[in-house]
Amino acid sequence: PKTDIVFLKVHKSASSTVMNILFRFGETHNLTFAFPIGGGNQLFYPRPFLAKFVRGFSPRNPQHFNILCHHMRFLQAEVQKVVSSSAVYFSILRNPVQLMESSFTYYKGTSAFSRAHSLEEFLSQPYHYYNPTDGDSHYARNLMTFDFGFNPDGDVSTERVQLMLKAIEASFDLLLISEYFDESMVLLKEVLCWDLDSVVSFPLNSRDSSTKSPLSDTIMKKIKEWNRLDWEIYAHFNRTFWERIDRDIGRERMQQEVKALRARQAELARTCLQGTGSVAPKDIKDSSLRPLQHGSAKILGYNLKQGLDKETELMCRRLVTPELQYSSALYKKQFPQKPP
């Protein structure tokens, strides 16, 4: 199994669920994480990543960490200073139309979105609300492009788009697609030589459907135009994703693998969860399992069954622990506080 991993956690793309998979694998195999100095869950995002943001990194005595997965704005030359040269680099992408709808709800408090009453209103005259010089403007346009380290307001000439895609291809071993999450996990398992249980997950940080709004064709078209660079990235890597499946796995075996993954997930849900799935934040009984609520989104969570044996309880708890709580527990484990 590969244990040196860089995951570029692109915002609002099922990346919290992927992070849970990495946290669990890292914890069970005693791996080290490249944590932000002072804990927290972002490597000084939205600033471009620097090795010195990582706790325990020292240029005089470079130490390599196994897993780098907290939110960052990608800068490969700096990332290479904190991980081994054999690390596997991967990320996950999402259709920019759904991504923008999600961002508008989740990042409602940002400069560009706070004054627009609806996504439609924002898109009817984006420059009335959007100012590229605002410190948080990246949430409102080409968010994936920004996270990969490129200029979200750059021109969209064919030449520039090609350069950007080539640069991403040169840096990353694998780009997953959140709309095909189960297929993505099968592909990840293959590339990392992991077993099935290592990539099983329950969806984390997902929104209650009451806060999701259906989009008209006109709106979808406007979102694509406004996020043209993101659209180019997504369309390209959605295509190469399937080419890779055809080349390395084949559709038939992929179907079997996905079936096995879903069956295992359903089995774990029956073992671990009260009811069959996620519940609204107000219905989560154990406050340590309540995810951070953000913007006007309602983020769902889980209730564990009572009376599980110790080992099963631990396994189940790891599967449903929200990102911030899990990150902070692993941070304390990696950097235990010395007694006074």
**Residue for token pair 């898109």:** 123
Contacts of 186 (CB under 8 A, 6+ apart): 199, 249, 254, 257, 258, 261
Q: Which amino acid is at 148?
A: F
Q: Can the peptide bond before residue 46 be classed as cis, meaning omega within 30 degrees of 0?
A: yes
User: One digit per residue, pLDDT tens: the chain, 340 residues?
Assistant: 999 999 999 998 989 999 999 999 999 999 999 999 989 899 999 999 999 999 999 999 888 999 999 999 999 999 999 999 999 999 999 999 999 999 999 999 999 999 999 999 999 999 999 999 999 999 999 999 999 999 999 999 999 999 999 999 999 999 999 999 999 999 999 999 999 999 999 988 887 777 777 899 999 999 999 999 999 999 999 999 999 999 999 999 999 999 999 999 999 999 999 987 899 999 999 999 999 887 777 889 999 999 999 999 999 999 999 999 999 999 999 999 877 7
Using alpha carbons only, what angle is made at residue 125 by residues 124 and 127, rounded to the nearest 5 degrees?
150
Q: Which fold has domain 5-334?
A: Rossmann fold (3.40.50)
Q: What is the pTM of this model?
A: 0.95
Backbone angles phi, psi at 7, to 5 degrees: -115, 115
Which tokens go with 65? Answer: 């960490």
CA distance 217 to 23: 39
CA distance 326 to 66: 17
Which tokens go with 279? Answer: 């519940």
